[in-house]
């Protein structure tokens, strides 16, 4: 691959040659492991043999249930979901919310899921592996179906970083007036909530965003000032730059907000969120391969050696870490 | 055993042509299977007084599919009829349905048992997914004819089907024998179709006029060959049978 205009990015998995991976997760597997952490949900995987085999390896403590349903040829041909619905109702009978993960084959069939959706306590989500850019993208959709806004008075602040261990606790947070989103899995669910203040601290934003939300995010003013200083030094050189490293699209947004001339970004964490971020950035060339030579005439700001450190951070912390490394290695 | 697939746009006259061809081959003393591969399941109705028969998938759905008794019917002229069938429109997976029906026929070793001289597949021409390419791609048919009129949409569908087998000579792929022009009487139809065939790298190998005898026979729930054996149209279908049998 080489650098391409961000408008030409494709919303699909990026592979360097053939789509060959060794032991990579599938979307169902990602969702299952995430849901395993919530101690008040059952999981019901609707799919074919391999889906049942793999999901069965995750052990749920009783009374929680992790069960799978293997579709037969007849059910696939005729789209008959009645037996699957009966099995799902069985699982739901223990009173816990049951997430029905619909895997690749049934998603291709596009069957009428009403009989399953109508079961009390059941939440049906189509989670075909081929849908997202990364298998982790599916969690946005799963949480969107689990977290529906409730009416009633709103007060206080909720932090969404995924440390909750029950669905009940997650749902309880929905009554907050301000939602600070630190984990991209929650972004699709929360970004649709109206009438409350949702602060997206998953993506990296421009300086105005941080000035405006410094108090809500509890930002250390000194750190913000330092980040701005580094960005200003890059801008003052008046040279076009290529930003390279994890979440380069976000770092680029911040640099631009302080006047830097960012022409290109290069990063490896390609997923539904970074796809959108690149499109929103606009007017930038994108590469997803660190081996690509940066576009002619640009200075390379490469902090990719810190990718591992950045992986565990979100929003502002990620920005600061990226800029510190850039300062050390490129300025 | 010669296995031939007929494809073409919906409503173009595939079932009419294949039914009459099957009847003509049967009259010549051949043993013939007509296998309808359209979820509409109306390919063979004119062998049975216009009545619909249970399909392979109907029988599979009920579960009494341990033998073929429930879905194979012999017409008065001796044509063995079966229909793949399909799920209710908008549900399930019709493509997988076709594949399942083919697998069922294989499993029951029906051709080995009946040893027909001809198997004619009458297939939905709008090849919407891989399932409908099964007959021409998976070693079920040796030859392919495309039924078309001179209308643009019909020729367009014909072109798509021709592309599906372009890989001539590949194992498991049917060989395109040519277009059968079933006329709709539009202006310059013969010439239009001839040109289109050329562009597809094939030829118009047979032309069938539009003729009221077809509707007259249909009204009786019969093929022309059965209802009006001495008619001009019947003679034409006998000629088609000779060509196909060559
Ligand atoms: N050669 C013909 N002359 C007159 N009518 C025809 C002829 N071929 C087909 N038809 C009419 O066209 C209708 C549709 O044909 P059919 O064979 O059912 O199409 P398909 O199987 O391609 O969907 C038939 O009901 C028949 O009345
Ligand atoms: Mg037909």
Average pLDDT of chain B to the nearest whole number: 93
Q: How far apart are CA B93 and CA B101, in angstroms?
A: 12
Query: Is A229 in the same domain as A265?
Result: yes
Share of chain A above pLDDT 70, in %: 97
Are residue A210 and residue A321 in the same domain, yes or no?
yes
The pTM of this model reads 0.81
Q: Is residue A149 part of a domain?
A: no
In a domain, A135, yes or no: no
Please check whether residues A8 and A91 belong to one and the same domain.
Answer: no
User: Tens digit of pLDDT for each residue in A29-87?
Assistant: 999 999 999 999 999 999 999 999 999 999 999 999 999 999 998 899 888 999 999 99
Which of A200, A227, A258 is the C-terminal boundary of a domain? A200
Cβ of residue A239 closer than 8 Å to a chain B Cβ: no
DSSP chain B: -EEEEEE--TTSSHHHHHHHHHHHHHHTT--EEEEEESTT--TTGGGTTT-----HHHHHHHT--SSGGGT-EE-TT--EEEE---PPTTSS-HHHHHHHHHHHHHHTTHHHHH--SEEEEEE-SS--SGGGGHHHHTTS-SEEEEEE-SSHHHHHHHHHHHHHT-STT-TTPPEEEEEEEE----TTHHHHHHHHHHHTT--EEEEE---HHHHHHHHTTS-HHHH-TTSHHHHHHHHHHHHHH-
Say if residue B130's pLDDT is above 70: yes
Listed residues A200, A225, A254: the one ending a domain? A200
Chain B interface, best mutation among A72, A74, A77, by max B CB count within 10 A: A77
In a domain, A98, yes or no: yes
What residues in B contact A77, CB-CB < 8 Å? 57, 60, 86-87, 92-93, 96-97, 100
**A226 and A320 part of one domain:** yes
The reply to whether ligand 1 has any atom less than 6 angstroms from the CB of B135 is no
Domain ranges of chain B: 2-240
ipTM above 0.85, yes or no: no
Ligand 1 in reach of B210 Cβ (< 6 A) = yes
Q: What is the pLDDT of residue A331?
A: 77
Domain of residue A45: give its range: 27-128
Residues A284 and A219 occupy one common structural domain: yes
Q: Are residues A13 and A77 in the same domain?
A: no
- Domain B2-240 grouped into CATH 1.10.3720.10: no
User: Chain B residues with CB inside 8 Å of A112's CB?
Assistant: 91
φ, ψ for residue A231 (rounded to 5)? -60, -40
| Chain A residues whose beta carbon lies within 8 Å of the beta carbon of residue B56 | none
Between A261 and B172, whose confidence is greater?
A: A261
Give the pLDDT confidence score for residue A101 in this predicted structure: 98
d(CA A153, CA A229): 41
**Residue pLDDT, tens place only, A156-174:** 999 999 889 999 999 999 9
Residues A326 and A212 in one domain: yes
Catalytic residues of B: 9, 14, 40, 126
A257: closest CA of chain B, how far (Å): 49
Segment A270-299 shows an average pLDDT of 94
Write down the pLDDT at residue A109: 84
Instruction: Please name the residue whose Cα sits nearest to atom 2 of ligand 1.
Output: B210
| The pLDDT of residue A307 | 96
Domain count for chain A: 3
Indicate if A308 and A210 belong to the same structural domain. Answer: yes
């Amino acid at each position: 691959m080489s650098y391409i205009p961000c408008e030409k990015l494709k919303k699909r998995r990026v592979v360097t040659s053939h789509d060959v991976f060794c032991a990579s997760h599938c979307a169902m597997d990602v969702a299952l492991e995430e849901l395993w952490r919530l101690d008040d949900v059952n999981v019901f995987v609707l799919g074919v043999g391999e889906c049942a085999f793999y999901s069965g390896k995750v052990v749920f403590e009783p009374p929680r249930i992790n069960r799978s349903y293997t579709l037969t040829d007849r059910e696939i041909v005729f789209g008959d979901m009645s037996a699957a619905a009966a099995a799902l109702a069985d699982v739901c009978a223990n009173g816990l919310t049951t997430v029905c993960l619909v895997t690749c084959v049934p998603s291709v069939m596009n069957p009428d899921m009403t009989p399953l959706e109508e079961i009390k306590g059941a939440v049906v989500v189509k989670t075909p592996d081929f849908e997202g850019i990364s298998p982790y993208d599916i969690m946005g959709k799963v949480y969107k179906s689990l977290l529906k806004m409730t009416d009633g008075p709103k007060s206080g602040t909720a932090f969404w970083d995924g440390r909750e261990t029950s669905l009940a606790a997650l749902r309880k947070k929905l009554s907050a007036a301000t939602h600070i989103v630190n984990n991209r899995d929650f972004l699709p669910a929360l970004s649709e909530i109206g009438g409350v203040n949702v602060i997206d601290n998953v993506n990296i934003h421009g300086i105005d965003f941080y000035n405006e939300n410094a108090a809500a995010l509890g930002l250390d003013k000194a750190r913000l000032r330092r980040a701005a200083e580094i960005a200003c030094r890059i801008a003052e050189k008046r040279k076009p730059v290529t930003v390279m490293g994890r979440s380069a699209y976000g770092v680029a947004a911040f640099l631009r907000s302080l006047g830097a001339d960012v022409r290109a970004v290069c990063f490896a964490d390609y997923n539904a969120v970074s796809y959108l971020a690149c499109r929103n950035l606009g007017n930038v060339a994108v590469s997803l391969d660190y081996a690509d030579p940066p576009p002619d005439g640009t200075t390379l700001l490469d902090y990719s050696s810190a990718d591992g450190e950045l992986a565990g951070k979100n929003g502002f912390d990620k920005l600061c870490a990226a800029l510190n490394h850039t300062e050390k290695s490129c300025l | 055993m010669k296995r031939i697939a007929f494809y073409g746009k919906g409503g173009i006259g595939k079932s009419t042509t294949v039914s009459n061809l099957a009847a003509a081959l049967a009259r010549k003393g051949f043993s013939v299977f007509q296998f309808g591969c359209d979820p509409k399941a109306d390919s063979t109705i004119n062998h049975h007084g216009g009545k619909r028969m249970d399909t392979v998938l109907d029988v599979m759905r009920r579960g009494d599919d341990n033998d073929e008794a429930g879905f194979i019917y012999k017409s008065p002229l001796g044509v063995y009829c079966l229909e793949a069938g399909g799920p209710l429109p908008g549900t399930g997976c019709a493509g997988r349905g076709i594949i399942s029906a083919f697998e069922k026929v294989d499993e029951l070793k029906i051709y080995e048992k009946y040893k027909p001289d001809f198997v004619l597949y009458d297939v939905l021409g709008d090849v919407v997914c891989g399932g409908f390419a099964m007959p021409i791609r998976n070693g079920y048919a040796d030859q392919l004819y495309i039924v078309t009129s001179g209308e643009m949409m019909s020729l367009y569908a014909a072109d798509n089907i021709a592309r599906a087998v372009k890989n001539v000579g590949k194992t498991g792929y049917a060989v395109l024998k040519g277009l059968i022009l079933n006329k709709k009487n539009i202006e310059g139809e013969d010439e239009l179709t001839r040109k289109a065939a050329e562009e597809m790298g094939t030829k118009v190998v047979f032309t069938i006029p539009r003729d009221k005898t077809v509707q007259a026979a249909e009204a009786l729930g019969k093929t022309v060959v059965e209802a009006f054996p001495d008619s001009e149209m019947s003679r034409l279908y006998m000629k088609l049978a000779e060509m196909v049998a060559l």
